[in-house]
Amino acid sequence: MSASSRFAQQKRVPLKGSTRQLFDSSRAGEFSSRAVDEEQITVSVLLTPKEPIDPTKRLTREQFAERHCADTKAEETLRAFAEEYGLRVEAPKERGRRTMQISGSRAAMEKAFAVTLQTREAGGVRFRLREGEIMLPEELAPHVVAVLGLDNRPQAKPHFRVATPRAGNVSYTPVQVGQLYGFPASATASGQTIALLELGGGYRETDITTYFKSLGLPAPSVTAVSVDKGTNSPGDASGADGEVMLDIEVSAAIGVGAKIVVYFAPNTDQGFIDAITTAVHDSTHKPSVLSISWGGPESSWTQQAVTALDQACQAAASVGVTITVACGDNGSTDGVSGGGNHVDFPASSPHVLACGGTKLVATGDTITSETVWNELSLNEGATGGGVSTLFTLPSWQANSGVPTPTTKSGGRGVPDVAGDADPSTGYTIRVDGETTTIGGTSAVAPLWAGLIALANAGNKKDAGFVNAVLYSASPSPFRDITSGNNGAFHAEPGWDACSGLGSPRGAAIVSALAAVAPQRG
């Protein structure tokens, strides 16, 4: 066998979990940040780790990279494969990401990965699509977890809802919500960095300055980081800009003094996963919390993407980064046509803190009512929640009374925690020069991210993966939500599949997280 045909002559095997379903054109216009199909394509190849990841063992980013980077043989094999097919290879600065980017022509990509790429147009946007499996040479296949980017259809939706003007609606600033939940008065998150993941839209510095001046708070330091050519691109107040500004304004108003770093990526599975790995392993900004307000039903993801993203969340747990994730705004169906119960991913990952939503009513500085957010009768959304079909029941959730899963592989209950999300009791936010009221579980993820940043600063250590501590804390640091439903699931004492453990008693949460004792190895 000649060196030039080493891989061409090998048997091809399917990449596990790479099967792509038919394109759903109804999702095409959903906040896509990828447009025309380019002649040159860049894919991200996630390689297997040198050692299996143990998310319970706390490591520094440097230690993680040393132990869990890609095996040298895997990198060498991939480079040889790429060279044979005329593709260029670029390795990331952060070795812990285990992601090699391969670039080349469409024809070369089709030949290298044994796929047929199509161009489709829907919603005025062109997409590059593939269907079926990715086929790899049998020598390379054992080293590859995922190949992402051959298909650039939109992957996720932001989980925010703009309030419809209606008699009886109220709105709160994030500061007021924090006060109602008893967040530590006068506490700051100085020294912390909160990461935000965005798959479209952008922010304007003038809006940030004006907004925080109105709150009587110093404007936060906000830095944009480009991932896979994603950029800070404000311009649509009713679109993804609303998500970006909600995340920045809520997280920074709660986590006063924290630096905010926004990772902008294309709305594709490749962009989503590359943004998480970039943030988690960022040795420059070193975030301790990552807030994610985007997602999609578990059924909308390929298994290779689920595996790759969950491995990124495992890495976050290992290096001490807490990930808070919105669990969706479409009730127990998660918006899946045909009905049935579904949960959102990545909220369903057992390595993140899944955030559900409530309707919060207060008089002065006292909460008078808090129920599960459900405005489905008005076509204005409801909190996501239910039972995963992909992830088994975690040990820390074993005594929570999670409903029986519908699949043998499932069992993880969603959400873990809750907070104000109903747009009729939503957050006062400034977007593109206008003040509006926004809700959705997208508001709850940055709310919890800000609270955890406060806890990290106050406790003088990064909490990292918090679920086990929060589920076992006694007395409970939560306001138990016992009224309401999200469709199929009803609130009840203790954990439930629409409000999780409940909404936060802020000071008690900070005290509970002080019990986290990171063991570095």
Q: Which CATH number belongs to the domain containing residue 279 in this structure?
A: 3.40.50.200
Residue 70 phi/psi, 5-degree rounding, is -70, 145
Burial of 151 (0-12, 13-18, 19+ CB in 10 A): buried
On whether both 15 and 133 belong to a single domain, the answer is yes
Q: Which of 99, 126, 148 marks a domain boundary?
A: 148
Pairing type for strands 417-420 and 353-363 reads: parallel
Q: Give the pair of three-digit tokens for residue 86.
A: 């005329």
Q: Are residues 144 and 162 in the same domain?
A: no
Same domain, 144 and 166: no
Rounded CA-CA distance 320/318 in Å is 6
Task: Tell me, yes or no, whether 518 lies in a domain.
Answer: no
- Three-state DSSP state, 344: strand
Phi, psi torsion values for 414, nearest 5 degrees: -130, 140
Say yes or no: 195 and 105 in one domain.
no
- Does residue 519 form part of some domain? no
Question: 500 and 453 in one domain?
Answer: yes
Is the residue at 28 inside a domain?
Answer: yes
Is residue 74 assigned to a domain?
yes
**8 Å CB contact between 450 and 250:** yes
Buried b (16+ CB within 10 A) or exposed e, 451-473: bbbbbbbbeebbbbbbbebbbeb
173 to 14, 254, 260, 436, 475: CA distances (angstroms): 51, 10, 19, 11, 29
Q: What is the pLDDT of residue 28?
A: 52
CA angle at 264 for the pair 298 and 334, rounded to the nearest 5°: 20
Same domain for 194 and 143: no
Confirm whether 520 is domain-assigned.
Answer: no
Cβ contacts of 94 within 8 Å, gap of 6 or more: 61, 65, 277, 278, 281, 282, 283
Q: Which residue, among 449, 421, 450, 442, has the nearest Cα to 158 in the 3D structure?
A: 442
Structure tokens at 479: 């306001």
In terms of residue numbers, what domain contains 128?
3-148
Judge if 38 and 169 occupy the same domain.
Answer: no
Annotate 322-361 with b (16+ C-beta within 10 A) or e (fewer): bbbbbbbbbbbbbbeeeeebbbbbbbbbbbbbbbbbbbbb
User: Which residues are designated catalytic?
Assistant: 243, 247, 442
Please indicate, yes or no, whether residues 213 and 292 belong to a single structural domain of this protein. Answer: yes
Cα angle at 467 between 332 and 53, to 5 degrees?
105
Does residue 219 form part of some domain?
yes
Decide if 328 is inside a domain.
Answer: yes
**SS3 at position 28:** coil
Nearest to 11 by CA among 177, 136, 173, 194: 136
The number of domains in the chain is 2
Do 225 and 270 lie in a common domain? yes
Same domain, 186 and 102: no
Left if phi > 0, otherwise alpha if psi is -120 to 50, otherwise beta: which for 132? left
Same domain, 215 and 315: yes
Tell me which residue of 284, 324, 368, 249 sits closest to 500, measured CA to CA: 324
Q: Please list the pLDDT of the chain residue by residue as tens digits (521 residues).
A: 455 789 999 999 999 999 998 776 655 554 444 444 457 999 999 999 999 999 999 999 999 999 999 999 999 999 999 999 999 999 988 999 999 999 999 999 999 999 999 988 877 788 899 989 999 999 999 999 999 999 999 999 999 999 999 999 999 999 999 999 999 999 999 999 999 999 999 999 999 999 999 999 999 999 999 999 999 999 988 789 999 999 999 999 999 999 999 999 999 999 999 999 999 999 999 999 999 999 999 999 999 999 999 999 999 999 999 999 999 999 999 999 888 999 999 999 999 999 999 999 999 999 999 999 999 999 999 999 999 999 999 999 999 999 999 999 999 999 999 999 999 999 999 999 999 999 999 999 999 999 999 999 999 999 999 999 999 999 999 999 999 999 999 999 999 999 999 999 999 999 999 987 564 44
Is residue 29 located within the same domain as residue 71? yes
Q: Is the residue at 470 inside a domain?
A: yes
What CA–CA distance (Å, rounded) separates 134 from 148?
10
Q: Which of 87, 113, 148 is the last residue of a domain?
A: 148
- DSSP-assigned letter for residue 231: -
pTM attached to this predicted model: 0.96
- Provide the token pair at 40: 């040159």
Tokens of 486: 């999200």
- The domain boundary residue, chosen from 102, 122, 148: 148
Give the residue ranges of DSSP H helices in 369-434: none
Query: How far are the Cα atoms of 41, 228, 277, 348, 419 from residue 94, in angstroms, in the given order?
Result: 22, 15, 9, 26, 34
pLDDT number for residue 27: 56
